[in-house]
Structures are given as structure tokens and as C-alpha cells.
């Protein structure tokens, strides 16, 4: 089976698993939109072509939000895909603030592939809830909140810092007012992150 067939099969499985679910956005859009958007950010905006990363991106909410089991993913795809999706799965039995706190605390310890998917997921979420005028990373922190990087002080969703990846909050020459619609900005950010995070030998372009 080819990589493309694997990716389409993952999309079909995710669509079936999420078929009755809606997102919590204003339009109550289908839940399947989110994993497809995450995979698209990776594949289109950052030229990630690693099939394991893209398949896991499409499936990343199946264990957390549906009745899918780890064994199903291992059988349908591979133990590697199963482990990667498990790495991105929150424990829904915990209160939401605790889940989010664990995400932040665990972010530095995620595998390279999981970090890419997590960041693409956060970007996709911001695109849903943040108006374009606020910018890709949202508004600046309020007065008195410590800045998390040494340049603009902007935060990645979940409290992560661009400085952690050796990046500035905007590409050189990009106006500070650039908003969510500035796809080149998203592409620049994801390409830089993929260059830093993807393990040697994994195809990015």
C-alpha cells in the first residue's frame, strides 16, 4: 500500500470515527475538519511529506475523542502510528485545566513528530478562535505577564515559547500587523520548526 493510500485510509477512518461530532466553534463545524486542517498545515504550509507524521496528524484525536483503541491503530497502520497518536492523546478523565497544564509541561518531552503535530494543532485552533486583526499568535500578554521570548513576547497557544525553538515571533520584514490570513507567515513558521524538529533522514520536502 502506498503512502497516499495510507493517508486517504486514515482520513476515511477519522471521518467515520468523528462522524457524529461537532467542533465548539460558532458554526459547529464537523469535528473531522480539525485533523484535516492540522495535516494540511503540515503538508501545505510547511512541506512536511513524512507519511507517519501526516497519517498521525489525521488520526490524532481518534483515541481521545472516539471509541478507537490503540490496538485498532496498530492493526490498521503500525505500532509507530499508534504510539505517536497515543503521545498526543490527553486523559479526558482529568479536568480541562489539568489537561492543559500537562500539555505544557510535557511539550519539551514530545518526540519530534509529535511536537510538529502539536504545534500545527495549536495553529489550527488559533485560526478558529482568533480574529485576523489579533495576529497569528494572538494578542500580546497583558501588562505584568512575563514575556516568554526575547523579542515580541508573544506566546504560542498553550504557553509555549517561540524562543524555545530559536525563532522570533515573526519572520524578518513581516509587518507586526500580519494576521491569520498571512499564509506565508504560517508557512515560514512551520518550515523553521520542521527544520529544527524533524529527525535526520525524515523527508520534509
Residues designated as active site: 64-65
SS (H, E, C) the chain: CCHHHHHHHHHHHHHHHCCCCECCCCCCCECCHHHHHHHHHHHHHCCCCCHHHHHHHHHCCHHHHCCCCHHHHHHHCCHHHHHHHHHCCCCCCCCHHHHHHHHHHHHHHCCHHHHHHHHHHHHHHHHHHCCHHHCCCCCCCCCCCCCCCCCCCCEEHHHEEHHHHCCCCCCCCCCCCCCCCCHHHHHHHHHHHHHHHCCCCCCCC
Amino acid at each position: 500500500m502506498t503512502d497516499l493510500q495510507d493517508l486517504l485510509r486514515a482520513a476515511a477512518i477519522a471521518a467515520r470515527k468523528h462522524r457524529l461530532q461537532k467542533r465548539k466553534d460558532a458554526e459547529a463545524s464537523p469535528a473531522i475538519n480539525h485533523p484535516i486542517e492540522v495535516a494540511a498545515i503540515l503538508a501545505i504550509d510547511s512541506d512536511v511529506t513524512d507519511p507517519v507524521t501526516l497519517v498521525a496528524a489525521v488520526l490524532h484525536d481518534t483515541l481521545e475523542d472516539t471509541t478507537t483503541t490503540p490496538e485498532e491503530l496498530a492493526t490498521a497502520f503500525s505500532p509507530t502510528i499508534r504510539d505517536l497518536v497515543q503521545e498526543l492523546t490527553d486523559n479526558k478523565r482529568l479536568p480541562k485545566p489539568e489537561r492543559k497544564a500537562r500539555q505544557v509541561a510535557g511539550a519539551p518531552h514530545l518526540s519530534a513528530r509529535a511536537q510538529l503535530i502539536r504545534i500545527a494543532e495549536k495553529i489550527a485552533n488559533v485560526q478558529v478562535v482568533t480574529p485576523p486583526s489579533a495576529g497569528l499568535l494572538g494578542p500580546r500578554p497583558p501588562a505584568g505577564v512575563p514575556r516568554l521570548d526575547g523579542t515580541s513576547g508573544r506566546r504560542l497557544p498553550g504557553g509555549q515559547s517561540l524562543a524555545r525553538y530559536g525563532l522570533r515571533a515573526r519572520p524578518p520584514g513581516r509587518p507586526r500587523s500580519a494576521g491569520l490570513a498571512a499564509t506565508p507567515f504560517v508557512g515560514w513558521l512551520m518550515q523553521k520548526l520542521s527544520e529544527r524538529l524533524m529527525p535526520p533522514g525524515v523527508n520534509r520536502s
